[in-house]
Amino acid sequence: MPFIANTDQQRQEMLAAIGVDKVEDLFANIPPELRCKGLDIPPGLTEQEVRKRMADLAEHNSSGLINFLGGGFYDHFIPAALNTIVSRSEFYTAYTPYQPEISQGTLQAIYEYQSAICRLTGMEAANASLYDGGTAVYEAIMMALRITKRSKVLVDDSVSPIYRKMVKSYTSNLGIDLMETASREGLPDRNAIADQIDDDTAAVIVQNPNFFGCIDDVTDLAEMVHARGGLLIVSCYPISLGLLKTPGEMNADIVVGEGQSLGMSVSFGGPYLGFMATRKKYLRKMPGRVVGRTVDAKGRDGFVLTLQAREQHIRREKATSNICTNQGLCALTSLVYMSLLGKHGLAELSGVCAHKADYARELMLKIPGVTIRFPERWYFNEFVLNLPMAADKVIRGLFNRGLAAGFPLGRYFPEMNNCLLVAVTENRTKEEIDFLAHSLEVIL
Amino acid sequence: MKLIFDKSVPGRRAVRTTDLALGNPIPIDKKMLRDEPADLPELSELDVMRHFTELSRKNYGVDTGFYPLGSCTMKYNPKVADLVSQFPGFADLHPLIPQLPGGEVMVQGALAVLKETDRMLSEICGMAQFTMQPLAGAHGELTGAMIIAAYHKHKGNKKTTILIPDSAHGTNPASAAIAGFDVKTVPSNEDGVIDVQALRAMMDDDVAGVMLTCPNTLGLFNHHIKHIADLVHSVDGLMYYDGANLNALLGHCRPGEIGFDIVHVNLHKTFGTPHGGGGPGSGPVGVVERLVDFLPTSVVCAHDDGSYYLDYDRPRSIGYVAPFYGNFAIILRAYTYMLLLGAEGLTRVSENAVLNANYIMTKLKDYYDLPFDKICMHECVFSASRQAADGVRAINIAKALIDRGFHPMTVYFPLTVPEAMMIEPTETESKETIDTFIEAMIEIAQQVKESPEKLLACPTTTPVGQLDETLAARKPNVASLGQSECPDA
């Protein structure tokens, strides 16, 4: 089923027009010794066969576990209208909007997306999106290095360990002094950062709520970083911004994050959405596509890709980034999601997550031997429990009861072998939370 | 058309959330909370549907009509692939499950998809193994450049330069540069392909690798390619294959067999996954045997019993380039596509893509300058120089095509051709569609002579005319900030 329209008759007509006898003649430029002798790939299947095969494979996955896994990737409820909109093939099957006159749909949507991200984060300018939250952190670091012309970066270890690993890979050949600061009692340690920050520090990177689920007010950190001429980069969880003080209010310079929670399914790792917002003064230093509002000759409002002089197709090796695509459809998804939730809907949803997590936390803390790891902290919808035994063992036991009970932190934090990171979204019912607490108690 | 924010009516609601304890105070210190909710629009579900339906009608996709955008491979995207990607067994699968103890057995279907896609792409490209992690084509290039760096570091080579032809996509030099390399540009010769003499002159011990597309961005297959590979390998350089043009070669020629060491493929081009208005894409990277150890972590491996696991213990690996295993829902679509086509179908893809491109080239070469008049592969590049002499440039021809119901071709790329018009029809377009396009192009060429002023006014059928891009860049307005709007923003 190669989705080819032309018939043999039509192919013959076309070959005759070209002036060759057979299709093979069109490949004559490839030296015979470099020709492929055929592919060892199974014969094509019908749509019916493929659907059956893929349904079978899907069944080999335990997607039906009751899910308390988060770690930066959350299963929020997705309204039906969202899929109807983003499945419209005028959006779905279009390319990057290089021809603005026939791409106003994509362009206006991206402009609205940029606006919504600014309003959510309290910032002034956003780009048209990046691949994911981790590459967004890396791009923010590169941006800070460009702005400050410095070479040192401090990343707090309460930032997602997955993102820290990504940043480490990307920067390993670049001569950047990438240092980690040790968090204390679940939050970035102000003293440790004050000790390590200097006049060559381009940026300090924190996450809020951080990987342990703890909420922070980083206004003081922004002040500390700014006093040394550096920038504060904050990675955040967009759903939490329905409630929480924005990075903008806390004087962050660059705000990034994983946008998956805004209407995208977890899909075993992607596609996701990296968002990035900043101050207007740094707009021209930002990587990625940017859509701007302008007018045509008749004065009609319209939207175009703008500030392209920063980008790879113009600047080549001197570009601000190599990024070429944005996550157009994912950006659209998040915009539609934010529009369907709306101003009060997002705040309410955010509140429900906080309440459900609070309920779950209180319930589990009643289990003998279970304590909260960072008792002094405030939480949004995720928290770390101390268990009386290795979290790995508990996870295995709860799998048998159909529960993905959370993420055992020992994998990334060896000193936290007994710690379990538990996330609660609005999708978890009271019964499911009760079942988790009950099952945990039974196992312990 | 109004912005969605300007349609907002205070108090209006669409989706509501289940309300566990909603009336109670928020269990978080007030100091940590924002004063005002984010100023998102307040709309009904129908308001939202109408807004985005109206926006979609101002767009043009492959399902709308012919989209001969050169180098972008805008082929038809099979709908069954989208359907499969939404199966709950895939869509609702949390990526951290296999990182849990005992979790791997719960994601065997997903790991099978990743491993099978790796096997098929390896077979198509003549590589030993693929990583599915890179999240886009340019991200694949960066991953490849990082592998080049890791290889030389491992061997103790002090190499800092990547050579890239002048006809390359802009992402190639940008990716090499951000991976830490110096980039040097190799000129093309009069045949439109990389100048082997110039390349030889630039070849020294500092050369870490060469990044090439093949066929190149002019749609030409360089029959000296094996010779170039030998030259690069003679200084222990690596050959990087930019898979943007792989649609020309499926089943006919394997990059691995013509001397390439690293390959990235664009699933959103060659393997029929939707472009989504600029993403998400997917750019898996394949390598030859001696580079397998450098692939990103994790790697999907098979146990002796045929079950799959993720290997994180890779001491020579370049590390994590993506949070997890790649853009899985895109990989699923590409896998579905390959299952549908099979070996035979994939081979037919390239034949028909090449046939369609040559047909267009033949039919239009009397009307437009053809800088390289020889059999092309999956795309052909004309120059509008002749028309430009009469005051109608490539961009005007592009806009005239819009008024005639087509998406324009790529213009002003590659940079080596003045007034370039790069046309890639893909295999999924029918002769009737292509003939209509050819007629439109001929009609435009005639109008250049008769009434060029009409062409300069195009497009006239679209919601907006040519937009003031200078204004957009000089006084950037990139967001509507609502309540917090400052007067100078």
Using a CB-CB distance cutoff of 8 angstroms, which residues of chain A are in contact with residue B343? Answer: 38-44
pTM (2 decimals)? 0.97
Facing B277 at nearest CB: one of A11, A106, A249: A106
Using a CB-CB distance cutoff of 8 angstroms, which residues of chain A are in contact with residue B91? Answer: 63, 265-267
B37–A354 C-beta distance less than 8 A: no
Using a CB-CB distance cutoff of 8 angstroms, which residues of chain A are in contact with residue B109? Answer: 56-61
Distance from CA of A368 to the nearest CA of B (A): 23
Closest residue on chain A to B429 (Cα): A5
Distance CA A46, CA A44 (A): 7
Does A227 lie in the same domain as A305?
A: yes
Residue B489, pLDDT > 50, answer no
Q: Which helix (H) or strand (E) holds B312?
A: none
Using a CB-CB distance cutoff of 8 angstroms, which residues of chain B are in contact with residue A17? Answer: 359, 362-363
Residue pointed to by tokens 């005028």:
A90
Does A167 lie in the same domain as A19?
A: no
- Please check whether residue B257 is in contact with residue B225, taking contact to mean a CB–CB distance below 8 angstroms: no
Written out in words, the top-level CATH class of the domain with range B347-470 is alpha beta
Q: Which helix (H) or strand (E) holds B219?
A: none
pLDDT for B21: 63
B459–A102 C-beta distance less than 8 A: yes
Rg (chain A; Cα; Å): 25
Q: Give the per-residue SS3 of A142-195.
A: HHHHHHHCCCEEEEECCCCHHHHHHHHHHHCCCCCEEEEECCECCECCHHHHHH
A34–B63 C-beta distance less than 8 A: no
Residue B19, pLDDT > 80, answer no
Distance from CA of A192 to the nearest CA of B (A): 23
Number of A/B CB contacts below 8 angstroms equals 724
Here the tokens at position A194 are 């004050």
Distance CA B237, CA B229 (A): 9
Does A257 lie in the same domain as A134?
A: yes
φ, ψ of residue A250 to 5 degrees: the values are -95, 10
- Please check whether residue B153 is in contact with residue B321, taking contact to mean a CB–CB distance below 8 angstroms: no
Distance from CA of A207 to the nearest CA of B (A): 14
Check residues A64 and B301 and name the one with the higher pLDDT: B301
A324–B138 C-beta distance less than 8 A: yes
Does A315 lie in the same domain as A203?
A: yes
pLDDT for B483: 67
pLDDT for A311: 78
Q: Where are the domains of chain B?
A: 4-56, 81-339, 347-470
Does A140 lie in the same domain as A116?
A: yes
pLDDT for A375: 96
Distance from CA of B360 to the nearest CA of A (A): 9
Distance CA B414, CA B421 (A): 9
Does A144 lie in the same domain as A73?
A: no
Complex prediction ipTM: 0.97
- Please check whether residue B294 is in contact with residue B151, taking contact to mean a CB–CB distance below 8 angstroms: yes
| 3-class state of residue A4 by DSSP | coil
Cβ neighbours of B391 (radius 10 Å): 12
Using a CB-CB distance cutoff of 8 angstroms, which residues of chain B are in contact with residue A112? Answer: 3-5, 480
Domain that residue A411 falls in? 66-77+343-443
Using a CB-CB distance cutoff of 8 angstroms, which residues of chain B are in contact with residue A380? Answer: 28
* Interfacial B residues in 155-174 facing A (CB < 8 Å): 169-171, 173-174
B323–A162 C-beta distance less than 8 A: yes
Does A170 lie in the same domain as A36?
A: no
CATH number at residue A71: 3.90.1150.10
A129 φ/ψ sector (left φ>0, alpha ψ -120 to 50, else beta): left
A343–B253 C-beta distance less than 8 A: no
pLDDT band at B22 (very low <50, low <70, confident <90, very high): low
Here the tokens at position B310 are 């993720």
Do the domain assignments include residue A123? yes
Do the domain assignments include residue A60? no
| 3-class state of residue B208 by DSSP | strand
A266–B92 C-beta distance less than 8 A: yes
Using a CB-CB distance cutoff of 8 angstroms, which residues of chain A are in contact with residue B103? Answer: 399
* Interfacial B residues in 417-476 facing A (CB < 8 Å): 427-431, 433, 459, 462-469, 471-473, 476
Please give the tally of structural domains in chain A.
3
- Please check whether residue A255 is in contact with residue A248, taking contact to mean a CB–CB distance below 8 angstroms: yes
Does A367 lie in the same domain as A239?
A: no
Distance CA B163, CA A125 (A): 36
Facing A6 at nearest CB: one of B96, B249, B352: B352
Do the domain assignments include residue A122? yes
Q: What average pLDDT score do residues B95-107 get? A: 96
Here the tokens at position B139 are 């991200």
The number of residues making up chain A comes to 444
Residue B484, pLDDT > 60, answer no
Mutate to test the interface with A, among B2, B31, B55, B118 (most CBs of A within 10 A): B55
Do the domain assignments include residue A2? no
A297–B320 C-beta distance less than 8 A: no
Does A144 lie in the same domain as A277?
A: yes
A11–B33 C-beta distance less than 8 A: no
A14–B359 C-beta distance less than 8 A: yes
Topology classification of domain B81-339? Aspartate Aminotransferase; domain 2 (3.40.640)
Distance CA B447, CA B433 (A): 21
pLDDT band at B487 (very low <50, low <70, confident <90, very high): very low
Here the tokens at position A105 are 């749909």
B431–A13 C-beta distance less than 8 A: yes
Does A107 lie in the same domain as A38?
A: no
Percent of chain B with pLDDT over 70: 98
Boundary of a domain, candidates A336, A352, A374: A336
pLDDT for A320: 83
pLDDT tens for each residue of B178-202: 999 999 999 999 888 899 999 999 9
A344–B42 C-beta distance less than 8 A: yes
pLDDT band at B486 (very low <50, low <70, confident <90, very high): very low
Do the domain assignments include residue A218? yes
Taking only the tens of pLDDT, chain A with its 444 residues reads: 789 999 999 999 999 999 999 999 999 999 999 999 999 999 999 999 999 999 999 999 987 899 999 999 999 999 999 999 999 999 999 999 999 999 999 999 999 999 999 999 999 999 999 999 999 999 999 999 999 999 999 999 999 999 999 999 999 989 999 999 999 999 999 999 999 999 999 999 999 999 999 999 999 999 999 999 999 999 999 999 999 999 999 999 999 999 999 999 999 999 999 999 999 999 999 999 999 999 999 999 999 999 988 777 878 888 888 888 889 999 999 999 999 999 999 999 999 999 999 999 999 999 999 999 999 999 999 999 999 999 999 999 999 999 999 999 999 999 999 999 999 999 999 999 999 999 999 999
* Interfacial B residues in 10-29 facing A (CB < 8 Å): 12-22, 24, 26-29
Q: Count the alpha carbons within 13 Å of B262 in the hemisphere toward its beta carbon.
A: 30
B476–A292 C-beta distance less than 8 A: yes
- Please check whether residue B269 is in contact with residue B378, taking contact to mean a CB–CB distance below 8 angstroms: no
pLDDT for B254: 97
Distance CA A145, CA B217 (A): 33
* Interfacial B residues in 198-257 facing A (CB < 8 Å): 220-221, 223, 225-226, 249-254, 257
Q: Which helix (H) or strand (E) holds A154?
A: strand A152-156
Give the residues across from A296 on adjacent strands. B467
Closest residue on chain A to B11 (Cα): A344
Distance CA B20, CA B32 (A): 21
Tell me: cis bond preceding B298? Omega within 30 of 0 counts: yes
pLDDT band at B488 (very low <50, low <70, confident <90, very high): very low
Facing A112 at nearest CB: one of B4, B18, B471: B4
B72–A111 C-beta distance less than 8 A: no
Q: What average pLDDT score do residues B114-139 get? A: 98
Q: What average pLDDT score do residues B231-253 get? A: 97
CATH number at residue A204: 3.40.640.10
Does A327 lie in the same domain as A394?
A: no
Boundary of a domain, candidates A315, A336, A357: A336
